[in-house]
Amino acid sequence: MKTFITLALLLGAMPVLADDADAEKNPAIAGRLADDEIPTSDEEYRKRLTPEQFEIARKKGTERAFTGKYWNTKTPGTYRCICCGEPLFASGQKFESGCGWPSFYAPIDAKRDNVKGKAIAEHVDRSLAGLPGFGIRTEVTCRRCGAHLGHVFNDGPPPTGLRYCINSASITLDPR
């Protein structure tokens, strides 16, 4: 029994240690970076990001549905860019879309007269246009550092009707 409790305590402490190590390697996990601290090359990003984060956020990859860290998270807080720490989404704007990726109906800075806000940039994505069922999509990126986040679709809930389908590997959560 004593061994079990000791093992449980050690295992319970491991994520904290891993998070501290992650924040040491990538300062964007700890908070918003100053403009002059944002990496400017792939080499710098490779040093800070995991291989999966780099492939998704910097090379426009996509994680498999239902595998990302935040797809089913209900923790209140703020979701920030994994590359520069910019606040992007609030947990109150997150909803269960059934798509397997974290989904939000608006960015963190959305206003009644500007539901898309300024934190997120949109780009035409023709990468899957030739495949049946895909067509042209709208890619969303962090406006500050250009990190690929995912895509936005016009099938979300009120009040915006938008569904920001975001890769977990492109964001980090600051719990409230």
Count Cα atoms within 13 angstroms, Cβ side, for 9.
6
Q: What is the pLDDT of residue 17?
A: 31
- Hunting for tokens 């319970």 — which residue is that? 12
pLDDT at residue 157, as a whole number = 95
Residue with tokens 């059934």, as numbered in its chain: 98
The residues annotated as belonging to the active site are 165
What's residue 6's pLDDT? 32
Q: Please state whether the peptide bond connecting residue 159 to the residue before it is cis, i.e. omega within 30 degrees of 0.
A: yes
Q: What is the mean pLDDT of residues 16-37?
A: 76
Residue 24 has what pLDDT? 78
d(CA 137, CA 116): 16
CATH superfamily of 2-175: Peptide methionine sulfoxide reductase. (2.170.150.20)
Is the model's pLDDT at 11 over the cut of 60?
Answer: no
Query: Where along the chain do its domains lie?
Result: 2-175
Sheet bearing 87-90, strands edge to edge: 87-90, 77-81, 171-175
